[in-house]
Amino acid sequence: MKNIAVLQVGPLMPVVQESITKDYGAVRLPDGQEERAEFLGQHGGTFDVAVTSGKFGVGTDLMRALPNLRAVINFGVGYDTTDVAQAFERGIIVSNTPDVLNDCVADTAVALYVDVLRGISAADRFVRRGDWLSKGNFPLATKASGRKVGILGLGRIGKVIARRLEGFDCEISYHSRNPVAGVDYRYAASPRELAAGCDVLIVAAAGGPGSTGLVDTGVIDALGPRGYLINIARGSVVDQDALVDALLSGKLGGAGLDVFVDEPKVPQDLLELENVVLLPHLGSGTHETRAAMADLTLANLRSYSEDGSLVTPVHP
């Protein structure tokens, strides 16, 4: 087993934090800017492994301050907060925790799908406010089954979402960078073409510079005033200002959002809309999935400490 120096970047699940501290003597990077700068100035060259999460990552400046870094172990499937371009250029290997969270994230997407079309959360508020007694029946909603659904990003999670929605008799189409082998769903050549041909657009694309603003004004306009947008990917994939404007002006029928650009901040305008369902980035937030993510994170660290390899490496 290698003698590795481990840096913890940001808070982690207690079981992960306790394990890396006990087994590897991990040191926590200070949160304060001045304390962090002083710490890195004194100890930045000490660490060859960083353990972090998708929320915090190892960004450009931090990676530069770790000249001997050799591996980034990431808790989470998303790694867009880590400067992977610099990592690969320097020969730093990066891992994430794919597959183990597919089911729960897909379940969240389907929950948002049903909720925003049928108005489940809005109806709950309707009852709690006493409106059922004072105003009568809740307004009619939109049928959830049998709809045309476009999935932006037919990767691991996107495929699971599609299988779930087949049970709703939905007609599935998708757009990814390239057509996906082994699927019968209709392929759309662009996000705009995908949006124009569906009732509901589900965003499941990977985050990062390559997908920033992928869902822009043109895509939202193509979806139209009777269309719905579901985002369980990253807030950065959708032009959030354009989305808010479309919802306020009635150019989009509704949205179900688990992710936002500047979490945990949510645009104030969205808080007032009854046709928008807002979740606090809980896509993978179940006991079972988080335990599996923790196990895989620790397995990656253990593998690196033993032979310098990773169980689930991210590839350039």
**Longest CA pairwise span in the chain (Å):** 69
* CATH class of the domain defined by 102-278: alpha beta
- The answer to whether 170 and 148 are in contact (CB under 8 A) is yes
What confidence tens digit (pLDDT) does each residue in 11-51 have? Answer: 999 999 999 999 999 999 999 999 999 999 999 999 999 99
- Nearest alpha-carbon partner for 208 in 128, 94, 91: 94
User: Has residue 2 got a pLDDT over 90?
Assistant: no
pLDDT band for position 106 (cuts 50, 70, 90): very high
Average pLDDT, the chain: 96
Mean pLDDT to the nearest integer, 106-118: 98
User: Has residue 316 got a pLDDT over 80?
Assistant: no
Mean pLDDT to the nearest integer, 301-306: 97
User: What distance in Å separates the CA atoms of residue 14 and residue 261, rounded to the nearest whole number?
Assistant: 26
Mean pLDDT to the nearest integer, 71-77: 96
User: What distance in Å separates the CA atoms of residue 269 and residue 275, rounded to the nearest whole number?
Assistant: 12
User: Has residue 174 got a pLDDT over 90?
Assistant: yes
User: Has residue 172 got a pLDDT over 80?
Assistant: yes
The domains spanning 6-100+288-307 and 102-278 adopt the same CATH topology: yes
Catalytic residue positions, numbered: 234, 263, 281
10 Å CB burial of residue 171 (0-12, 13-18, 19+) is middle
pLDDT of residue 3: 86
User: Has residue 208 got a pLDDT over 90?
Assistant: no
- Nearest alpha-carbon partner for 232 in 193, 294, 284, 306: 284
What confidence tens digit (pLDDT) does each residue in 259-286 have? Answer: 999 999 999 999 999 999 999 999 999 9
pTM of the model: 0.92
Mean pLDDT to the nearest integer, 301-308: 96
AA letter at 49: V
pLDDT of residue 198: 98
pLDDT of residue 1: 57
Every domain of the chain and the residues it spans: 6-100+288-307, 102-278
User: What distance in Å separates the CA atoms of residue 103 and residue 33, rounded to the nearest whole number?
Assistant: 37
User: What distance in Å separates the CA atoms of residue 106 and residue 159, rounded to the nearest whole number?
Assistant: 9
Phi, psi of 183 (to 5 degrees): -120, 150
Q: How many CB atoms lie within 10 A of CB 225?
A: 12
Mean pLDDT to the nearest integer, 152-159: 97
10 Å CB burial of residue 278 (0-12, 13-18, 19+) is middle
User: Has residue 313 got a pLDDT over 60?
Assistant: yes
Domain 6-100+288-307 has CATH 3.40.50.720: yes
